[in-house]
Each structure stands twice: as C-alpha cells, then as structure tokens.
Amino acid sequence: MSLNGRSLGTLWSRPFRVRLGPALRPGENVLEVEVTNLAANRIRDLDRQGVQWRRFHDINVVNIDYKPFDASRWPVRPSGLPGPVALQPLSGDVPSAERR
C-alpha cells in the first residue's frame, strides 16, 4: 500500500489499518492498494489448469484417501478487498497547510 508514492507497508492481518503520517498531504491524495488472492484459491486455479506448481515429491502429500493431492475441486474462498477503502482522520493525523 502506498500514498502519494510513499510506501505505507503491507497489511496482512486484521484490523487492516495503517497510519498515514507524513505521506498524507492537504488536498488531493493518491492511495494505491495492491490486493493478492488467498493461497488456497491460487492452488485451486493452478490445479484446474494442470500447472505443475509443486516443488516437492513426498509420500505425505496425498489426500485423505492416499490419492495424489488435487485442489481443483476446492470451492473458491472469499478474497480480495470486500468493501470500500476509507481514509478516516484520527487526532494528530490530519496535516494542516502550516505543516507542509
């Protein structure tokens, strides 16, 4: 995530919030959010396409019936950015024209 070209870090767990600090400017700002998918959805897609993604060949990588592991029938899990992104000012985080 970045604001006005300045990296704000990676948000990977709840509450998915970050302080904007000096990256926030008075007036218009540009917020960039890069969203990735869940690993389970990615593995499902790779197996559905027949892509050889496994880099290991171990007897322990089988399903419950000791058949080769196959995630192609897994259900798609909710993922991504499910709602609107909002900038909510907190005390001390709102820049003023004097602090430019």
Q: Which domain holds residue 19?
A: 1-35
What is the identity of the amino acid at 50? G
Note whether residue 70 is domain-resident.
yes
Note whether residue 96 is domain-resident.
no
Judge if 56 and 67 occupy the same domain.
Answer: yes
Q: To the nearest 10°, the Cα dihedral for 63, 67, 72, 75?
A: -40
Judge if 45 and 61 occupy the same domain.
Answer: yes
Note whether residue 86 is domain-resident.
no
Longest dimension (CA), the chain: 68
Question: Taking the model in full, what pTM does it have?
Answer: 0.54
50-100 confidence digits (pLDDT tens): 998 887 766 667 777 888 888 999 999 988 887 777 777 666 544 444 343
Residue in the structure block whose two tokens are 């995530």:
1
Residue in the structure block whose two tokens are 């540009």:
30
Note whether residue 91 is domain-resident.
no
Judge if 46 and 64 occupy the same domain.
Answer: yes
Tell me if 51 sits within 8 A of 72, measured CB to CB.
no
3-38 confidence digits (pLDDT tens): 999 999 998 887 878 888 889 899 999 989 888 889
